[in-house]
Amino acid sequence: MNVLVVGANGQIGKHLVSFIEDSDNLKAKAMIRKQEQASYFEDLGAQTTVVDLEDEIETIAKAAEGVDAVVFTAGSGPHTGKDKTILIDLDGAVKTIKAAEKAGVKRFVMISSFDTTREAIQEAPSSFAPYVAAKHYADEWLKSTDLEYTIIHPGILTNEEGSGQVQAAGEVARGEVPREDVARVITACLENDAAIGKEFQVVAGTTSIKDAVQSL
């Protein structure tokens, strides 16, 4: 399976491309914003494509040609304004979904926020509410398509070394999860059809990632 990783140069994205390249069944195509980022991924054995999420849908669709799955791990980051949150976390995500459809890709994995319910938008601090709202509507758009989707809602992200064990379900208690383990969860979802059509939260736990995904 050839996988386009959108947001490959992010912290989760870098782990994910590495895990994909270590897999016997998957091959990565890293979508990056700058050519100077390419060598990192090429050294891992991955293909690269330089595309900005603010580009046209057709440009993103061209990057998705020939792949079997798209993983959206991109984000505007904590230091940008509400404008970039809308342009990347909402419009960028929707454009990527449309691009996947245009390119004939069937499988789509979305990395969302831990809680993107309407209640979460209302309860979020004013500085965080636009991000939750953007993720909410991007998730809803994906679910309204015919794509074979998986939506992953990770807990508080850390840079600790992953344990390979998580707790994953429709609803779990809020907690932390290493970015490395989130990338492992994505990889497992790509390798297991049990994840298709599923939306779940994930935090650190005591169940192997393979078993956690299988039991979704």
Map residue 89 onto helix, strand or coil.
helix
Nearest to 24 by CA among 9, 48, 45: 45
Structure tokens that stand for 33 in this block:
């914003």
Q: How many CB atoms lie within 10 A of CB 101?
A: 17
Q: Find the catalytic residue in 40, 131, 137, 149.
A: 131
Long-range interactions of 128-137: CB distance < 8 A, separation 24+: 130/82, 130/85, 130/86, 131/76, 131/85, 131/89, 133/90, 134/85, 134/86, 134/89, 134/90, 134/93, 135/89, 135/90, 137/90, 137/94
Nearest to 113 by CA among 30, 191, 208, 182: 182
Whether 131 sits among the annotated catalytic residues: the reply is yes
Any idea which residues carry the catalytic annotation? 131
